[in-house]
Structure 1
Amino acid sequence: MLTNQTEASLLSPDNCKSSTRIRAFLRLSRLATDDTIRQHLNEIQPSACNEYFQTVIVPAWKERSHAIEYCSDYALFLRQTSDSSKLEGDNNGHRTESDFDLRTDPYALKNYNEQLQSQYSQCDQIDNWVLNERNIETIIRGLTEEILNQKCYYGHWIEEFKKSLQQ
């Protein structure tokens, strides 16, 4: 479970841009909960499945969802910041040479456009890995639900998780 200190050091804009730490956390969390669920369920009675799901699986899924959503929100913020910067130009949202004093800095417009392109590229990169991790989560949760249904009893485990998010 993420502590406030761990969350503060893990969930940062830099870690969203370079996703190595967050993705390592996601992998380790999946390994500790979803990948070993058969072994854990073999150690408990079927009557304890719901408690196991609520105390082990749901918190892990929430933490992972929170980390993924944090970076998704950051990418959206970064894109909106880029868009608002772009909109400061003419009516079409384009900056022109007249917006910059090219006599004092002949590369100002070029540098501005490169910086804007770099920000959009970062947004796309974050969006891509976030989408990938969301897809992985969907697959992992589906497999975990299948195992829970095999080892315990048939339930709507993913629906229960979604309800817990709304609380």
Structure 2
Amino acid sequence: MTQPLPPPSLTPQFCFNTVALRDFLRISRGATDDSITQNLNALIQPSTAGFDPSSTSTRIPRGPRSKTISSPSCRNFKNQVLFPSWQVRSDVLNYCASVATSPDPEDPESVLRQAESERDRERVVDERLDPYSARFFPREARTERLATIIRQERGVENIIRARSWGLVMERCGEDWRDWEEALNEWRKGREKSQ
């Protein structure tokens, strides 16, 4: 069974380094969610009677449910791998979202943006001569760029979690309404044990 990635050290520099942020999310998703089928297949107990060579002579289409996995194995996978991985990614995204909404006194481009804004105010625009002269695209602050990336990554995270949870539901045969409720239930159980 794969283990969730350890959380990175959370600093504003980590968040503003969007390559490192996205690499962490990509690697974490690859370790658990992208390989969820393999992880779930690894939980199935091998046959106790041994291999039957005649079982390969005919192909039987898979029904709506493939082999269900035992409840203890599923529960361990969810509690020790899936939910901790999701929680680490949630913690990273929440921290970086707070960085994106905080003032950024160390923004290296703030002086440049102020100068561009000043030049834009002084500019005279005659749209009859050049209809495109009114276009002005100010530079985004790095906190705004980070906020956009966080919104995108949260959308990706929701899609990936829904897909992974669907596979877990199909293979484990348990009856949870949705992944958010299951994750919140896990969080509550974890808080009680701490």
Q: Same fold (TM over 0.5)?
A: yes
CA distance in 1, matches of 2:42, 2:35: 11
Is 1:158 paired with 2:180? yes
Is 1:74 paired with 2:96? no
Is 1:113 paired with 2:135? no
Residues 115-130 of structure 1: pairs in structure 2 closer than 5 A: 121-130=141-150
Is 1:19 paired with 2:18? yes
Is 1:7 paired with 2:27? no
- Alignment check: 8 A CA contact 2:40 2:171 kept: yes
Q: 1:122 Cα shift?
A: 1.3
Residues 95-144 of structure 1 deviation map (CA, whole Å, 9 limit, x = unaligned): xxxxxxxxxxxxxxx768349986x6212101100001100110000001
5+ residue gaps, structure 1, are 83-109
Higher helix share: 1
- Secondary structure at the residue paired with 1:78? coil
- Secondary structure at the residue paired with 2:102? helix
- Alignment check: 8 A CA contact 2:5 2:28 kept: no
- Secondary structure at the residue paired with 1:35? coil
Is 1:51 paired with 2:71? no
- Alignment check: 8 A CA contact 1:145 1:158 kept: no
The 4+ residue runs of structure 1 with deviation greater than 6 A are 115-118
Which structure's CA Rg is the greater one?
Answer: 2
Root-mean-square deviation (CA, aligned residues, Å) is 2.7
CA distance in 2, matches of 1:162, 1:137: 16
CA distance in 2, matches of 1:136, 1:74: 20
1:23 is matched by which residue type in structure 2?
R
Q: 2:134 matched to which residue of 1? A: none
Residues 142-157 of structure 1: pairs in structure 2 closer than 5 A: 142-156=162-176, 157=179
CA distance in 1, matches of 2:154, 2:34: 17
Q: 1:17 Cα shift?
A: 1.6
- Alignment check: 8 A CA contact 1:15 1:22 kept: yes
TM-score by length of 1: 0.69
Seen in structure 2, the aligned counterparts of structure 1 residues 124 and 148 have a Cα distance that, compared at 3 Å, is same
Residues matched between the structures, number: 134
Seen in structure 2, the aligned counterparts of structure 1 residues 51 and 72 have a Cα distance that, compared at 3 Å, is same
